[in-house]
Structure 1
Amino acid sequence: MWTTSLAQVKINNRLKVLLESINTTQNDNYLTKMKNLYDLCMDKDNLENLGSSLLLGVLDQLGGWPVVSGTKWKQDEFDVVDTLVNMRKYGYPHDIFASITISPHIFYQKFNVIYIGEANLALEERSYYEEDLDDPVLQEYLRFMVKSSVYLGADQALAEAEMAKVLQFAIQLALLTISRNTPHNYYNPMKIDQLQALSQEAYNWTQYFNGIFDPFSIVNNDSYIIVYVPNYIKAVSELIESTDKRVLANYLLWRVVLSSTVLLDERWALLGREFYQHIDGRKSLKPRHSFCMETVKKYFNIGSSGLYINATEDKSNLNLMSKMTEYIKESFVGMIKSSDWMDAQSMEAALNKTSLMTLHVGYPQELTDFDIINDYYQEVPTGRNTTWFEMILFLRHWKKDKDYLKITTGNEKGFWVDYSNVIDINAYYRHQENSIQFPLSIIESTGINADYPMYLNFGAVGWIIGHEISHGFDTVGRKFDEHGNYENWWSDSTTEKFEAKTRCYAEQYSQFELKKTGEKVNGNRTLAENIADNGGMKQAIVAYKKYVKDHGEEPLLPGLKYNPYQLFFIRSAHFYCGKWRTPALSHMIRTDVHSPGIFRIIGTLSNMVEFSEAFNCPSKAKMNPEKKCTLW
């Protein structure tokens, strides 16, 4: 757990109190729907009484799970696309073999288009599947599958044999995906008939799209899509074509079961935790109220944000945040002007992009309007006379409907819904909008206060602000112009110098190693975030120096031996302080585009002359190396 996690717990606990105080006897509205969902989740007696019965009913409707049905399973009635479409109708993940997203076109942002990506893997990251079969995580995953099927009535020996085949298939599928470290052209526009040519007879894309988009859109051969990795589509189609139908059905229905474990009784929750402890290191279940609160927040995020905001009286720090952001943007402008690797044309474009970067602080005003939020959830039933299992499946389907509905509409920049999550501690830069967002939650979590010395305030949040601004100019952000359009707006010479300078970060961070496991940070995967960290900290210290120039030196804190600049860096590092379980750190190394917190601190501060000067670090000390990576 790290500092931010503790702050998130405080927000969640406050939300829990607010949620439990909702009066469900009043007229039905989004608040009573939230409370009813929470109550369904907390009704453990009903969950125990239902056991696995509702899941077994769904499996039966989907044609049966072969490992459970045994010889009664009817292979001739199984069709991959039909099964995936029916999984979507029930509210289950259906992008098992190819991810489907609806997003603005990278060149024509007024239009939303269909993007097709690679498989969504059950273990998230390809590297888990690259291990030998005797790898502890894979062995525990197999045990999880076998126990789940036995819980539902499968024969033990049959379960062991058939789930071993499912694991082999899952490995084959994962190895078809492209490693995150492999450079690739992800923009491959085509029409449906071209996509179908990649799959041949293995996968009917028109049938699939019309099934999952029903009733919002009719897809035909003239429909326009963007495929991230065409070779993957061809390869996965060949895998589907060559795999026994029983194995395919067992895999798809396993994904249904896996997605259902959180909806069932405690026996299933314990079984899931028995496996996932090998991923995140946590052996015990979360308190039920915490799990239920987080689930309500997940499906009613806009409603939860509205509830939280309207109960928050002191919002005075929003103005302070805006003021500090302007200081930091100004510091970044100066850093652009003094850069030695940008030519005049690229520099002018970078300055223009910075000036047009829009700022979203706190929350959208729509979250204070009860009727707007209530209208957003109008299709959601009250949650009375139903079960936790059925309600979550409905909400999953409803959320996907909301997403897929975008295929019928244009894209609206700055749409309030896109900026409505203000209770999860995070900050954002949106490439296609050239915008930065600092929600109320992250402002509260940093503890900034107008009555505090500004070296503490800039230390607390300056790095975060600068980090998000820097994302507009990292390995991805540099490919989007001031309006968020995908465009190469840098000259070749500027690009070459940028790549040479940032190669230093990739090499530096690749040397950071977890002592307990020997795993190293992937400096290429984390490069964009490391660029943002280093650029953000530089902006923050430059901005604070400008503040001191404008307002004069600030007094020291009584009783402490540290000067303002030392406290600035101490406060900055505090945000990423934490203690993590070893499996969780290992999982982060495998899957996260961010470096672990300790390396974000060490890597960034060891590159800063201002840090070594503030603490009088000896030359060539660990935190004052002779070779420092710098971009700005």
Structure 2
Amino acid sequence: MKYVRSNLDEDSEIGGSSSGIAGSGAGAIGTAGEAFQNVPTVTVPRPRASRLQRLRNYFRQRNYLEKFLFIAVCVLTILVLLLAAFLYRVTCPAPQHSFEVQYRKEVVPGPPAKGENLSMVCLDPECISLSARILSYMNEAANPCEDFYEFACGSFRKRVAIPPGTQRVTSFSLQAEANEILLRSILESPAPPAAHASPSLRSAFSAELYANAGRLYASCMNVSAREASGVEPVTNMIAPLGPWAAHRPAGGPAFNASAWNLTKGIAEVVQFLLAHTESLPFFTVDVEPDNSNSSRHVLCFGQARTILGVRENYVGNGSATNLAALSEALLSVAQLFNFNLTQSNVTDLIDLEKQIAQISLPESERRDSTKIITSTVRYLMDNVGCVNWLDFLARYASNVSYHITPDTPVNIRDENYLRQLCPLLQRLAADPQKKLTVNNYLLIRSVWIFLSVLNKEAAAIPRKLHHITDGVHGSPNPWALCVRSVSGMFGFGLGKLYVDQHFDDESKLAVNSMINDVKAAFNRSLQEAAWMDATTRRLAMAKLVGIRNLVGYPDYFGNETAMREEFGSFRFASGEYFNNLLKIQRLGHVKSIAKLAEPVKVEFEMTPQSINAYYSPSSNVIAFPAGILQRPFYQAQFPPYISYGAIGAVIGHEVTHGFDDDGKNFDRNGNQRQWWSNRTAQSFKEAAACIAKQYEDFVVDGDVRVPGQLVLGESIADNGGLKSAYRAYKDRANLLPEPLLPNLNERFTKEQLLFIAYSQTWCELETKESVRQSAKVDPHPPGKMRVWGPISNNHDFGGVFKCPAGARMNPVKKCTVW
């Protein structure tokens, strides 16, 4: 995505022309003076001409070049005077006065407030850039009381373009793009810089880490080596998993459908894929904190993830287009790897994926953590008995000292799906043709996950599929793909280098202070919730106090020994991209399994360079990586009313997640249990239903709606986050220095700018395909809804913008949970 910027070459031309005109003008004036002195004397007396006539006569005597230069000098003089006036207007205090800004028929009072010191205008480059960005996104002709998204973000889509290889551009993606440039600089530099943004993190190991990350990036950028290898690295890996009906390596056994054990074949492929991906066929297994005992790790089992991702892509509107695109992609894979698959075989594969999707749970139902069962391996043996679980899990944990028995605790995430899995597999196993289809499906799934890291022809297959299903156009620059690869695969290693250069400890202290302010504001919401009984409120306040903050980066970044333990085992080669990735995945897999024998530790789950934040219900932690603590969300120079509207609302969002429809099911220690009274739980349900219904009634892009239950958690968090951020700002407004922003202080009050800063967090431009796809499966509502809902439910907004009761952004009936 690119901002609309001035062309520097054009600026240079203007500067050059100014110099040229000035020089030519000086010469021309001198020549004109000499010619005038040689005019002969006339003895006939004439009436004395007026000054205007003399000027007119003088001008007539000039040639065309002299006239042009004279006019040019005049025009430039006027421009200089106008520029000087503008600079004086921006930099010098204006007289105090009262005024109003007119929005259609509503009158919105603007500053300066009575007695306000206008000499506090911030002329720091960060403030000037911030003001320009805010104004460039806005559509001030829109009525803020009727559509605040259009008011705050109406010009955003004119200023940006969706970058190649993606389906949307947002405030988050813009910062991610800026971060990628910084990460590229780190990865392409021959040595780390001497200066550190965080001196406390200075480490001798950083230089070694720097070189290692650089080699991983170089291996990704080595396109010629990847093209030379082709798909051979993958075909060599999958050969031992056979026999394959569609792929028989030289000297390999032939496929015999009647002799092939279907469930054993599935278990072996899942075992292979576990070391390389989380996208597994038929069922998934992972290591997570136990829902009922957050101090320990357990195995968690759930439903499969299909090639197109989720159930909704196989059923309902748009599925025919998706499945046609999938068919084309599978045929392309068969051709690339020389698999013996016909169109009929591919049709059977897609039919199998549809059967898996049909027994899968919708994403809106999977959000409910109360449906996760805490049980033992014996549950799987009794209810999903078609798989030899003890054998499968013994091999799964063979690299760690953790013995799995029938009584080993597990979490079952998708019980309904797993109960239907064996009947499906038994039907498939009873038919030789369907067994053949399963064998072909496992073959395709074994190679699909590697397509994007092989040669160009392989990477083009999933990219073309996403173009049709998600509206993704084009491909990013190779360097951007490689930065994302390193950041995704070796994220904390690269994150250490990012923090060294681009995050300082002062920001960490300032953000922690803001977190405390927002928590205090949310505590008021708990106290004001009349529908809560005293016992539940007391426990909720205790949970709020117990929320731990993670800001910036992991603590071990400052520990040399811990750094070597975490990253010392990685040794990358600059010409072996595929092998480098396998090494990372396999070591990560072993570390994940090893957690089964270790207690749960509170640690960052996101890399420091992530432009994101999260709340973890199992550890009662909120986390804000260094990446999101940058512009446009936070800068030390930003005025508080901007900071609280942007990063303050993000903080409030994550705090509120601890008390949304899912977070409320976990106590202050991260254990899932019913700690709410029945009456209070019912009152919460009724308040949440108001928000769910409100969001279901919102319409974007003409006819797109979202399931209210799917987006309920994020919507509750957005509403509570904005309310807490605004309150936190008002509580601190008189205690903090508040510089004004140039060209904004005359238009809006500080409170208005806070709401604008919040709303511009959700400015976005998205392809139509992506809007429709996200509406079905994404728990985050579209950006417009993330403005409309919290703004229209906020009890302070109407007064700040003087919106009449009943206006669309100030309805009489508001939905409030917190």
Q: TM-score, normalised by structure 1?
A: 0.93
Deviation at 1:298, TM superposition (A): 1.1
- 1:355 is the counterpart of 2:545: yes
Is contact 1:506–1:523 with CA below 8 Å preserved after alignment?
A: yes
- What pairs with 1:97-136 in structure 2 (closer than 5 Å)? 97-131=282-316, 135-136=320-321
Q: How does 1:377-416 map to 2 (within 5 A)?
A: 377-383=567-573, 387-412=576-601, 414-415=602-603
Aligned mates of 2:526, 2:370 — CA distance in 1: 29
Q: Deviations over 1:41-97 (max 9, x none)?
A: 111111111212222222322215433449943443553245325524763557422
Which residue among 510, 513, 521 is the counterpart of 1:320?
A: 510
Give the share of equivalent positions with the same residue, in percent: 25
- Cα distance between partner residues in 2 of 1:432 and 1:467: 17
1:599 pairs with 779, 785, 789, which one? 785
Match of 1:617 among 791, 803, 809: 803
Counterpart of 2:5 in structure 1 is none
CA distance in 1, matches of 2:736, 2:585: 52
Tell me whether 1:441 sits opposite 2:620 in the alignment: no
Q: Alignment partner of 2:406: what SS?
A: coil
Instruction: Give the Cα separation in 1 of the matches to 2:443 and 2:782.
Output: 35
Aligned counterpart for 1:251 among listed residues 423, 431, 441: 441
Alpha-carbon separation, structure 2, partners of 1:392 and 1:470: 37
Q: Choose 121-130 or 225-234, whichever is displaced more.
A: 225-234
371, 374, 377: which one pairs with 2:564?
A: 374
Higher mean displacement: 73-82 or 163-172: 73-82
Aligned-partner Cα distance in 1 for 2:424–2:503: 57
Verify the 8 A CA contact 1:19 1:35 in the aligned structure 2.
yes
Contact 1:85–1:94 (8 Å) recurs in 2: no
SS in 1 for 2:299: strand
Residues 249 and 90 of structure 1: CA distance in aligned 2, closer, same or farther (over 3 Å): farther
Structure 1 pair 184–456 and aligned structure 2 pair: CA distance change class (3 A) = closer
Larger radius of gyration: 2
Question: 2:95 maps to what in 1?
Answer: none
CA deviation string 1:223-281 (max 9, x = no partner): 22222233322311221222132111111121122101112111112222111112332
- For 1:380 and 1:552, how far apart are their aligned partners in 2? 47
The alpha-carbon distance between structure 1 residues 89 and 9, as it changes in their structure 2 partners (threshold 3 A), is closer
2:472 maps to 1:282: yes
Q: CA deviation at 1:346?
A: 1.2
Name the stretch that deviates more: 536-545 or 608-617. 608-617
SS at match of 2:748: coil
Task: Mark the CA change 1:452 to 1:407 in structure 2 (over 3 Å): closer, same or farther.
Answer: closer
Q: How does 1:160-559 map to 2 (within 5 A)?
A: 160-182=343-365, 185-200=370-385, 202-216=386-400, 217-243=402-428, 244-312=434-502, 314-383=504-573, 387-412=576-601, 414-415=602-603, 418-419=604-605, 421-515=607-701, 518-550=703-735, 557-558=742-743
Task: Specify every segment of 5 or more residues in structure 2 that has no aligned partner in the other structure, as ranges.
Answer: 1-168, 193-203, 429-433
Please report how far the alpha carbon of residue 578 of structure 1 lies from its aligned counterpart in structure 2 after TM superposition: 1.6
Report the alpha carbon displacement of residue 441 of structure 1 after superposing the two structures with TM. Answer: 1.1
CA shift at 1:600, angstroms?
0.4
Cα distance change, pair 193–547 in 1 and its aligned pair in 2 (3 A)? closer
The alpha carbon displacement at 1:143 in A equals 0.9
Partners in 1 of 2:276 and 2:516 — Cα distance? Answer: 44
Cα separation, partners in 2 of 1:545 and 1:142, compared to 1, 3 Å: same
Give the RMSD, CA atoms, in angstroms.
2.5
Q: CA 1:15–1:214 in structure 2 vs 1: closer, same or farther (change >3 Å)?
A: same
- CA distance, structure 2, for counterparts of residue 338 and residue 538 of structure 1: 13
The residue type equivalent to 1:430 in the other structure is S
Q: 1:66 pairs with 202, 223, 245, which one?
A: 245
- Alignment partner of 2:403: what SS? coil
- How far is 1:528 from its partner? 0.8
Cα distance between partner residues in 2 of 1:460 and 1:151: 48
Instruction: Give the 3-state SS of the residue equivalent to 1:99 in structure 2.
Output: strand
Distance 1:133 1:497 in 2: 38
Where 1:114 maps in the other structure, the secondary structure is strand
Cα offset for 1:512? Answer: 2.0
Number of aligned positions between the proteins: 623
The yes-or-no answer on 1:43 pairing with 2:222 is yes
Q: Distance in 2 between the 1:93 and 1:631 partners? A: 35
- Do the aligned partners of 1:363 and 1:419 also contact (CA within 8 Å) in 2? no
Q: Which is worse superposed, 203-212 or 130-139?
A: 130-139
Change (3 A) 1:85 1:587: closer
Q: Which moved more, 1:487-496 or 1:223-232?
A: 223-232
SS in 2 for 1:522: coil
1:57 maps to 2:236: yes
Whether the 8 Å contact between 2:282 and 2:303 is mirrored in structure 1 is yes
For 2:567 and 2:712, how far apart are their aligned partners in 1? 39
CA contact (8 A) 1:466 1:539 kept: yes
C-alpha separation in 2, matches of 1:496 and 1:132: 35
**Structure 1 pair 86/489, CA: closer, same or farther in 2 (3 Å)?**
closer
CA distance in 2, matches of 1:592, 1:134: 17
Shift of 1:555: 5.3
Q: Which amino acid aligns with 2:178?
A: K
CA distance in structure 2 between the aligned counterparts of 1:558 and 1:85, rounded to whole angstroms? 59
Q: Secondary structure at the match of 1:219?
A: coil
- In 2: Cα distance, 1:314 partner to 1:482 partner: 31
How big is the shift at 1:523?
Answer: 1.0
Contact 2:184 2:483 (8 Å CA) reproduced: yes
Question: How far apart, CA to CA, are the structure 1 residues paired with 2:298 and 2:795?
Answer: 46
Conserved? CA contact 1:427–1:436, under 8 Å:
yes
Contact 1:556 1:564 in 2 (8 A): no
Matching residue within 18, 21, 27 for 2:189? 21
1:550 positional shift: 4.3
* Closer, same or farther: CA 181–5 of 1 in aligned 2, 3 Å: closer
Per-residue deviation, 1:390:
2.6
Asked if structure 2 preserves the Cα contact closer than 8 Å seen for 1:577 and 1:597, the reply is: yes
Contact 1:605 1:623 in 2 (8 A): yes
Distance 1:283 1:401 in 2: 37
Per-residue CA deviation, residues 553-601 of structure 1 (Å, 9 max, x unaligned), is: 8757555311111111111111111211122222221221110111101
Q: 1:547 to 1:91 in 2, by over 3 A?
A: closer
2:48 paired residue number: none
Q: Which amino acid aligns with 2:562?
A: I
